[in-house]
Structure 1
Amino acid sequence: MSNVIQLDALTKDYLTDAGAVPVLKGVSLAVNQGEFVAIMGPSGSGKSTLMNILGCLDIPSGGRYLLNDTDIGTLAESELARLRGQVIGFVFQGFNLLPRMSLGNNVALPLVYQHIGKPERLTRATDMLEKVGLGHLVNSLPTRISGGQQQRVAIARALVTRPSLILADEPTGNLDSHTGREIMELFQRINREQSITIVLVTHDMTVARYAQRLVYLKDGLLAYDGPMSDFHGVEA
C-alpha cells in the first residue's frame, strides 16, 4: 500500500521579534492510502501548524514532506495551489459555504478552478450531495439548512474533486454531540467505502476514537503514533 503522506524529520520555525521560535521539531510520519488518522495534542503542540503543512498552505523550515511522492518543498506557489486543488479536499469547522449560492453550486465550486464544464460540474455536485444524503436539497440555500446539513455539504464539496486525501480541521466543533456523531459516522463510511485517506485534527477524544490511528503531538514532537485502541495517554 502506497504512502499518501511521508514526513521526514519535519521542522517548522516562526520568526518573531525575539528570533526564531521552533514549533515542529523533527516530526517523521507516514500515512498510507485508505488510513483514517486523528491528530491530537495540547494547545501549542504544533498540530495546527502540521495541518497547514499537510494541506500545502505552509511549507516546512526543514526536513521533507512528500505528498503522493511529490516533494512539496520543491514546488512554486502556483504548483502548490494546483496540487491542493487536485489531491486534497478540505473540511473546516466553520463550513465556509457561500450563503447566496445554492448547495449544488457550493459543492461544484472547486470544479470551476479545474476548468470543468458546467454540465459535468452540476452532475458531480448532485452525485456528491446524494452520497451525503442531501440530493433532494441541491437547489436550497445554506441559510435554510441546519449546521449538520451544512457540514455534510462541506464534505460533499471536499469530495467532488475526487481527492486522495481529506483534511478535516475540528469538523464537529460547531455541532451538537448528536450531529457530531452523525458527521463522524459519515467520515467513517467515506473512508471505508471509497478508501480515501482522512486526517483530522481534534481536541476531543470522543471524535478521535472514530479514527483507526492516533498521532499525538507534544511540544512539537511526536509523543504517540499508533492504533487508537492502544492509546492510554501521554506522560506529563
Structure 2
Amino acid sequence: MTAPLIEVTALEKDYSTGAGVFQALRGVSMTIAEGEFVAIMGASGSGKSTFMNLLGCLDRPTRGSYRLNGQDVGRMTSDQLAALRNREIGFVFQGFNLLPKLTALDNVALPLMYAGMAREARRQRAQAVLERVGLGERSHHTPLQLSGGQQQRVAIARALATRPRIIFADEPTGNLDTETSRQVMEFFTQLNREEGITLVLVTHEADIADYAQRRIRFQDGRVVEDVTRAEVTA
C-alpha cells in the first residue's frame, strides 16, 4: 500500500501568552493521500491556520509527529526544512505576497533562484508557467500593474514553478470578487484533476470549500468533521 503524502499523529501546538499557555491544536491525527483536494474550515481561532503552517513546514509542533512524503519533519534542521519547502511545497496566500518592485516573471522565478537553477533556465520556466496560468503577455508587468485576480494567478504560477507535489492555499480568494474567485478555484480544480497536484485549502467560505473532495472542520483546536464526497459538483 502506498504511504500517505501527509501523516500527522497526535499533533499539538502551544503558544505562550500573557495569560498563560494557549493550546492552538489538541491531538490532531489524520492522513492525506497524494492527489487529494482538501478544504480546511473553521472559525477564527479554531486552529485551521496553525495546522496549515505546521503542514507547510513554516512552524514546528509542540508535541506529536508529522511525516511528509515519508520524511519525519520533526527531525529536520531549519536548512533541511527550507530545502523541503522549496522542493515539495507551493504556497498561495490571501495577500498574494508578491514583491512589488519585481515583474511577474521575476516573482515567479524567485523560488527557482533559491533552488539554484541557472538564470536563463529559470526565466524560461517562469515564462512557461505564466503562460500556463494565462498571463504570458503580462510577464513584464509589476504587481501594481495587474488586477487582483491577475496577481493571484502570478502567485499560483510562483507556487507551481518548482513543480511541487502539494500546494497549500490560505484563503486564496479572500481578496477577490465572486467571478474572479470562481476562475481561481476552477484553475485549482484543473491542476488537481489533470496534473494530480495535492491541494490543501484553508477557507471560511462554504462555496469555496465545495470545490474540494474532502472537507475537514476545526473547532477549538480539534477536528470535529472530516467528510469525503465521492463526486464534487461546484
TM-score band (shorter)? over 0.9
Give the letter for the 1:130 counterpart.
E
Superposed CA offset, 1:91-128 (max 9, x none): 00011111221111110010110110011101110111
Q: Mean Cα displacement is larger for which, 7-16 or 203-212?
A: 7-16
Distance in 1 separating the partners of 2:211 and 2:80: 33
Give the letter for the 2:48 counterpart.
K
Give the letter for the 1:193 counterpart.
E
Distance in 2 separating the partners of 1:214 and 1:96: 26
What is the CA-CA distance between 1:188 and the residue it aligns to? 0.3
State the partner residue of 2:119: 118
State the partner residue of 2:175: 174
Distance 1:229 1:217, change over 3 A: farther
Task: Provide the aligned C-alpha RMSD in A.
Answer: 1.3
Counting matched residue pairs gives 230
Distance in 2 separating the partners of 1:117 and 1:204: 41
- Answer yes or no: is 1:3 the counterpart of 2:14: no
| TM-score, length basis structure 2 | 0.95
Distance in 2 separating the partners of 1:219 and 1:19: 17
Distance in 2 separating the partners of 1:70 and 1:52: 17
State the partner residue of 2:102: 101
Segments ≥4 residues shifted beyond 3 Å: none
Partner of 2:167, secondary structure, is: strand
State the partner residue of 1:164: 165
Distance in 2 separating the partners of 1:124 and 1:114: 13
State the partner residue of 1:71: 72
What is the CA-CA distance between 1:19 and the residue it aligns to? 2.8
Is contact 2:217–2:224 with CA below 8 Å preserved after alignment?
yes
Distance in 2 separating the partners of 1:181 and 1:138: 23
Distance in 2 separating the partners of 1:18 and 1:126: 50
Distance in 1 separating the partners of 2:62 and 2:141: 44
Is contact 1:209–1:228 with CA below 8 Å preserved after alignment?
no
Task: Give 5+ residue unaligned stretches, structure 1.
Answer: 231-236
Partner of 1:50, secondary structure, is: helix
Partner of 1:129, secondary structure, is: helix
Distance in 1 separating the partners of 2:197 and 2:224: 26
Task: Give 5+ residue unaligned stretches, structure 2.
Answer: none
What is the CA-CA distance between 1:18 and the residue it aligns to? 3.3
What is the CA-CA distance between 1:17 and the residue it aligns to? 3.3
Partner of 1:184, secondary structure, is: helix
Distance in 2 separating the partners of 1:62 and 1:98: 35
What is the CA-CA distance between 1:228 and the residue it aligns to? 4.8
Give the letter for the 2:23 counterpart.
P
Superposed CA offset, 1:17-37 (max 9, x none): 333221111111111111100
Distance in 2 separating the partners of 1:33 and 1:173: 26
Distance in 1 separating the partners of 2:196 and 2:40: 19
Give the letter for the 1:213 counterpart.
R
Distance in 2 separating the partners of 1:49 and 1:84: 17
Is contact 2:38–2:216 with CA below 8 Å preserved after alignment?
yes
State the partner residue of 2:57: 56
Partner of 2:5, secondary structure, is: strand
| TM-score, length basis structure 1 | 0.94
Q: Mean Cα displacement is larger for which, 9-18 or 109-118?
A: 9-18
State the partner residue of 2:214: 213
State the partner residue of 2:227: 226
Give the letter for the 1:210 counterpart.
Y
State the partner residue of 1:199: 200
Distance in 2 separating the partners of 1:43 and 1:36: 22
Distance in 2 separating the partners of 1:19 and 1:159: 40
State the partner residue of 1:138: 139
Is contact 1:170–1:200 with CA below 8 Å preserved after alignment?
yes
Give the letter for the 1:192 counterpart.
R
